[in-house]
Amino acid sequence: MSILSGKNILLGITAGIAAYKTASLTRLFIKAGATVKIVMTPASKDFITPLTLSTLSKNPVFSSFVNEEDDNAVWNNHVELGLWADLFIIAPATANTLSKMANGACDNLLLATYLSAKCPVYFAPAMDLDMYKHQSTLTSLKSLQGFGNIMIPATSGELASGLVGEGRMAEPEDIVQFIEDDILGKLPLRGKKILITAGPTYESIDPVRFIGNHSSGKMGFEIAKSAAKMGAEVILVSGPSHENVDSHLIQLKKVTSAKEMYDEVHLHFETADVAILSAAVADYRPKNVATQKIKKKDTTLTLELEKTQDILKSLGEIKTKQFLVGFALETNNEMANAISKLKSKNLNMIVLNSLNDKGAGFGSSTNKVTFITGDHEAKEFPLKSKSEVANDLIQFIIKTIDA
C-alpha cells in the first residue's frame, strides 16, 4: 500500500506541453489509492482536455471561478479546494505560473487555490532550457522553496524546442516516487523497526482439534498499519487471523502455535527498536499431541497440559535498547494485575483493557484501554475504534521514545 493511499490530492495543471503527462500522473495517483481532484489554468486546456482528466479522476475538473456553461453560475470555491487537499501538486509548473506564485499574483482559480492551500505544495517545473536558466526563473524557484514549497527537480532531455538540456518535467512515475519518498522521509518513525504480535495461537490436541481463543488479531493488525503510516518498518508476527495488510512497510509472518511465535519473535527482537506484543498467546498446550484423530469413546476426555514459553517475559529478560510494550486483558483487579505484569516482565509500558468494559476485548471493532508506563503513570481513554486506539498507542510511543 502506498503512503498516498487515502490522501486527497489536488493536481494543478498549467499551460505547458508537458501537460499531456498529467493523464498518466492522475492514473498513478488513483492506483496508489488517492482521491484526485484537478484544477487547470484556462490556457492548459489547449494541451489536454478536462474531459480526459475528469474521466480518469472520476471528479469534475475546475478551471474557472464560475462554471460558464452552468445557467445557475455555480461558484468554484478555491478556499474549499485548498482546505480539502492533503497534498497539492502543480505539474507542469510553467515559468509564468512559478513567477505568479512567487509574487502572490492571483488571476486564475489555480493561483487562488494555491494561496488558500494549507497542505504541503509540490511543484514540478517544465519549460525550455533558456527559460529554466533565466535569472527570473531561478529567483522564482528560490522564493517558492523559501516559502516551504517542495520542488520536484526538472530533468535533462530533449525539449519541445528541439534543444537538449535541463527543463523537462519529471516523468509521472518519478513524480509519484519523489512525493512518496519525501513524505516517508519526514515521518517520525522513519528508520525505526517495530516488532508486533497479533492474533491467537492454536495448540494442537490432535491433527484436527486445537486449544485456542477468540482473538481476531484486529488490534495487532491496526497497530501495524498505524506504525507503517508513521514510516516504521514493521515485522508483524500473527497467529491465525482473517485480517490482512497491504503496506510494503509491513512484513507479515504467519505462525500457528505459541512455540512458533516465540521462535519468530526472537528472530527479530535484537534488531527491533520497539516491540508491541498484543497477541493472545495460549498459556498452556497439550503435553502430548495425538498423531491420529482422537475417537469419541468416553463421556469425558482428560488432557494433560503444560505451560507454554512466556514470550513477553523472555523479551523483558534480554532487552537492551528496545522499548517493550505488553497487553493485559483482565477481568478483576485490573490495575493491580497490569502493574504487576509490567514489573515482573520488565516492560516499558503496558496496555490494559478489561473484559468488564462493554465494547472491549476479543472479536470487537472497538476497545477501551489504559496506558500504564514504567513509573506507573496511567492514561485512560474512552471507548474508541481499534484503529483509533492503535493511532493513540503509536503516537504515545513516539512522544515517549523522543522525550
- Determine the Cα angle at 92 with ends 86 and 98, to 5°: 85
Residue type, 37: K
The residues annotated with a catalytic role in the active site are 213
Q: Which three cell numbers stand for residue 287?
A: 503435553
Give the single-character DSSP code of 225.
Answer: H
Residue type, 367: N
Listed in sequence order, the residues at least 6 apart from 392 whose beta carbon sits closer than 8 Å to its beta carbon are: 369, 371, 381, 384
CB 98 within 8 Å of CB 125: yes
Question: How far apart are alpha carbons 386 and 384 in whole angstroms?
Answer: 6
Question: How far apart are alpha carbons 4 and 27 in whole angstroms?
Answer: 13
Q: Which three cell numbers stand for residue 134?
A: 533565466
Question: How far apart are alpha carbons 71 and 181 in whole angstroms?
Answer: 44
Instruction: Show the DSSP H helices in 32-104 as ranges.
Output: 50-57, 78-84, 95-103
| Cα distances (angstroms) measured from residue 136 to each of 115, 141, 142 | 21, 9, 10
CA atoms within 13 A on the CB side of 118: 5
By C-alpha distance, which of 74, 68, 28, 71 is closest to 50? 68
